[in-house]
Structure 1
């Protein structure tokens, strides 16, 4: 199946986009949809970003040879949820201390990364990463903070996969950890 570069999500004026990679994108999408339903999440879709291959497909990305990460792109209402809150959730829902892996999923496609869309997001992503590295993960965070490049939607059957397949694979490292509030 051929993918095409994604068209912008159909969201209201004033909405913003956040893009994160935290391992297998099925679980990441599922957790964000559950946590932020009716709390600012307007849309979410899984796809590929950060590589050097045009028109990536799932099998090619899973080979680890495309440079792409499995990722989640979120459209959100910044009046209902902040970018900071989305990133704090990101750091609680996966293990950002393992380079190129989450649980049994190994390869650069499963890396931990934040792909920022503007200078303000870059600033916030770096601030939050520094704080969680010091306060929660004790100097072990390997998450990349990178500019968002070309986004490619994953194949249709991957979208909302765990809603359609409730007994489908979910990475065991995807669960919400309990951390104290970050201190400024």
Structure 2
């Protein structure tokens, strides 16, 4: 049973979330009060004071790596950001030989479910991606969990790919902490020098390909809606997909 869940992209926490959705729908049908999903909430936060200068950047392409819970939702958010040319689900923080879904799910590999974002810094800056990451893509105050997903593999972590990214990320976390925009402390870690390993094909474009799946509906689609609502100037309606020719439901 466990292997079948893993093969189809389900973990035990994600199955639990699906059952929660079913229970919520049933409760609503009987007129009972239903508490909205925490994923429907997003925090309005200020833009970073310290950021790269897009107009003078010598590069046409940069990469950034973010971890913040299940990579399905994080990937889905960044695939809808203007200026992003690719967003790949994968693993970062551990070794190459343990970068496999079954092993990462143990919470003992050092990996976090992550998304590698390739972007044009002339269209969207690293700091602007961080703003979306902290306000829409996940809750940076949840330590070693995100919504229904528990364990260090779901931790809130920035994996900078340069010293400049590390400097901007640290300054932004300090800025947000000082401004007290969140009711709890930010627990996001900064882990430089970590390699990224793409996840299995069936994890790629998961939100786009399975919008009606209960886990996606309750945990991830609200994040995409919040992106469009809070950052209309960054929004792109058509997501950039990883798998060429993927059939969208």
Question: What are the residue-to-residue correspondences of 1:33-182 with 2, within 5 Å?
Answer: 33-34=79-80, 36=81, 39-52=82-95, 54-93=97-136, 94-135=138-179, 136-138=181-183, 140-168=185-213, 169-170=215-216, 172=219, 175=223, 176=226
- Please state how far the C-alpha of 1:53 moved relative to its aligned partner: 5.5
- Please state how far the C-alpha of 1:172 moved relative to its aligned partner: 3.0
How many residue pairs are counted as aligned between the two chains?
A: 164
Q: Greater shift after overlay, 126-135 or 112-121?
A: 126-135
The alignment partner of 2:97 has SS state of coil
- Work out the CA distance in 1 between the residues paired with 2:184 and 2:170: 14
* Preserved CA contact (<8 Å) 2:156 2:187: yes
TM-score (norm 2): 0.61
* Preserved CA contact (<8 Å) 1:49 1:148: no
Question: More strand per residue: 1 or 2?
Answer: 1
The alignment partner of 1:142 has SS state of coil
Determine which structure has more spread, i.e. the larger CA radius of gyration.
2
- Work out the CA distance in 1 between the residues paired with 2:105 and 2:133: 22
* Preserved CA contact (<8 Å) 1:22 1:96: yes
Partner of residue 8, structure 1 = none
- Root-mean-square deviation (CA), in Å? 2.0
TM-score (norm 1): 0.82
Stretches (4+) displaced over 4 A:
none
- Please state how far the C-alpha of 1:138 moved relative to its aligned partner: 4.8
Question: More helix per residue: 1 or 2?
Answer: 2
